[in-house]
Chain A
């Protein structure tokens, strides 16, 4: 299936001389949820701004559903909805007027019933006559989303949608994103909350210093890079790890009461079962055993550490 968004060889050097993107290549599949992860200043917003036509790229090409974003900008842009990182709304307009304005701006005929549905879905209907300036931060964020959805985009960019948003609203947003996906909308979100990518995304891209360093299916990524850890709570503290167990590279906690074994799914390190046997053979007794998968967050931190 052809990708709905294709970015190839895109670089951006700002007027200050700073190069924010270096030869970025990225293809987004139709209907997927793609999470773009990266530290502050990595170039996430710059990349999104280029695709949406807010920032001019220095080189490279971008096509949206086959439409070049310059030659065929009307067709390309009318497919895209953008919820930017910053809360920027005309404070003196009413919610209703603002959202209808957005719809008109994107060339869609007035459709009060649809706009009403968008506002209801985002729990903004009872605020429809309120001026934007009287809304709380979370409501403003939802208003920005309503504006982006008002023109029925096929691709939705969410640039850190849940920054500064409380837990309940965050859940609502995830729910909304899933509903949109069911309707066939492609969603690209940036986030610093790794659990968000973990909970939502089909694929994850990691960008650092203007370069995409990894794009991978989330499950794939977890399997490939994911590590498991087993922690044994000891009955009696140890002074050091017995020599007979050195090939496990165990970590002993400073107080000597916990042994941690780290192994990944693919490595040829011996399995947990053999470790438990060897522990018992060495006369080490434990109260409890605990195993866990490493999260995307740990994977992410490791990745960035590997590529300075």
Chain B
């Protein structure tokens, strides 16, 4: 066997480690800020609104919004972590080193997406821990809870990676998250059950992929869901497959990476 053609695991590890180190360097931004914002959500939504809506599907409102809150951060952080991680070296030019290194595209994706996903999963767990200080939580299906957490983090890190490669400016980098992802997440049933919406809106909502993520995730906590869990899982996998397909196409064509 030609040893030199063997996978370059050291490169994957080197990239992954640098990405994690970046998170620790900016520990304040990476950890403290989501903790603060989650706490604020609880104060505003949990207490103010929760005093009016006491229960949804037999779950206290404060507890009801926890899975949605975690998903909200997971989505936005996965996208911003991964898109920034690959956009930044493009922007400062240090990407030359990555392109000149004996690394395959697959290894590049695994390292960057792995790093971004790890960070957002840790973040999701921190939010979960923070939330447990405010409301009593129950997790009926811990395995599925973790499965949804990891699947979503990986999927949206891939999505962020695509955005980071596509973006030619910082504006473009923020455009997709701002114009598409944030609205979809807020309208994705984080703070309400879609059964509470009037008929036509309920139908429209079913076209929002985020609904399926949040619904499935919430099911893993309380065993209750807006749409069936099978469909949730299926939709998540479809989105994951779509992202993988796009990344594969990008790398086959060298799109926006190699001139």
Co-assembled chains A and B = yes
Residues of A within 8 A of B (CB): 14-15, 49, 52-56, 72-78, 80, 82, 84, 86, 88-93, 97, 100-109, 147
Tell me whether A54 and B96 are in contact (CB under 8 A): yes
Complexed CA–CA distance, A108 and B103 (Å):
12
Query: Would you call B8 an interface residue if the criterion is a C-beta within 8 Å of the partner chain's C-beta atoms?
Result: yes
Given the known A-B contacts A53-B99, A74-B102, A77-B101, are A107 and B93 also in contact in the complex, defined by CB atoms under 8 Å?
Answer: no
Q: Closest CB-CB distance, B58 to chain A, in whole Å?
A: 49
Residue of B nearest to A151 (CB): B101
Tell me whether B259 and A15 are in contact (CB under 8 A): yes
Given the known A-B contacts A105-B97, A147-B97, are A78 and B89 also in contact in the complex, defined by CB atoms under 8 Å?
Answer: no
Tell me whether B99 and A105 are in contact (CB under 8 A): no
Query: Would you call B201 an interface residue if the criterion is a C-beta within 8 Å of the partner chain's C-beta atoms?
Result: no
Given the known A-B contacts A14-B259, A86-B93, are A109 and B5 also in contact in the complex, defined by CB atoms under 8 Å?
Answer: no
Contacts A/B (CB < 8 Å), 25 sampled: A49-B259, A52-B99, A53-B258, A72-B4, A73-B102, A74-B4, A75-B2, A78-B4, A88-B96, A90-B89, A92-B25, A93-B21, A97-B18, A97-B21, A100-B14, A104-B10, A104-B11, A104-B14, A105-B10, A105-B98, A105-B103, A106-B101, A107-B11, A107-B102, A109-B10
B93 surroundings in chain A (CB, below 8 A): 84, 86, 88
A14 surroundings in chain B (CB, below 8 A): 259
Tell me whether B5 and A106 are in contact (CB under 8 A): no
Tell me whether B4 and A75 are in contact (CB under 8 A): yes
A92 surroundings in chain B (CB, below 8 A): 22, 25
Tell me whether A105 and B254 are in contact (CB under 8 A): no
B21 surroundings in chain A (CB, below 8 A): 93, 97
Q: Closest CB-CB distance, B99 to chain A, in whole Å?
A: 5
Residue of A nearest to B100 (CB): A52
Complexed CA–CA distance, A14 and B259 (Å):
7
Given the known A-B contacts A55-B259, A74-B4, A74-B8, are A91 and B13 also in contact in the complex, defined by CB atoms under 8 Å?
Answer: no
Complexed CA–CA distance, A106 and B254 (Å):
20
Complexed CA–CA distance, A77 and B96 (Å):
12
B244 surroundings in chain A (CB, below 8 A): none
Complexed CA–CA distance, A201 and B56 (Å):
78
Tell me whether A93 and B97 are in contact (CB under 8 A): no
Residue of B nearest to A14 (CB): B259
Apart from A88-B93, A104-B14: 8 A-B pairs, beta carbons within 8 A: A52-B96, A56-B258, A75-B4, A84-B93, A90-B88, A101-B14, A105-B103, A106-B101
Tell me whether B94 and A105 are in contact (CB under 8 A): no
Complexed CA–CA distance, A77 and B4 (Å):
10
The proximity string for B residues 2-32 relative to A, scoring 1 for CB distances below 8 Å and 0 otherwise, is 1011101011011101100110010000000
Residue of A nearest to B254 (CB): A56
Q: Closest CB-CB distance, A280 to chain B, in whole Å?
A: 63
Tell me whether A91 and B92 are in contact (CB under 8 A): yes
Complexed CA–CA distance, A106 and B88 (Å):
20
Q: Closest CB-CB distance, A25 to chain B, in whole Å?
A: 22
Tell me whether A84 and B8 are in contact (CB under 8 A): no
